[in-house]
Amino acid sequence: MECAATGISEKEAAENGYNPVSVLVWGSAMAKTMGQKKIGLKMIADKSSGKFLGAQAVGEAGVIGRINALSVALWTGLNIDEIGYLDLAYSPPYGGAWDIIHNTAQALRRSI
């Protein structure tokens, strides 16, 4: 089991003056042909600005790479709209055109 996080939690966001909103999305870390490993990704943003604040993930495989990508997004200041349409690697045997990162960021935007 892999677990990883980047950024701040909802509690830390509220303590630092943000109005946090989050969403948890469950999906697959890879394509059916490769064994479909379940992964859960939670992303947190500021409700008023859409600023990306943090993420946590858990799953059998693929968690570390996704949190690393979101770490870079956090470091460079990407907002959730930009994260929702990142140009991530696409390889049909391993993952589709829409990664769980895209799905979670877009779900988070809809919840604001």
Q: What is the pLDDT of residue 92?
A: 74
Residue 59, domain extent: 2-111
Q: What is the pTM of this model?
A: 0.92
Over residues 3-10, the mean pLDDT reads 98
- Domain of 61: which CATH number? 3.30.390.30
Q: What is the count of structural domains for the chain?
A: 1
Give buried/exposed letters for 62-92 (b at 16+ CB in 10 A, else e).
bbebbbebbbebbeeebbbeebbeeeeeeee
Strands (E), the chain: 2-7, 20-28, 38-46, 52-59
pLDDT digits 0-9 by tens, 17-73: 999 999 999 988 777 777 778 999 999 999 999 999 999 999 988 899 999 999 999
**H/E stretch holding 102:** helix 100-111
Residue 91: pLDDT band by 50, 70, 90 thresholds?
A: confident
Contact 42, 105 (CB under 8 A): no
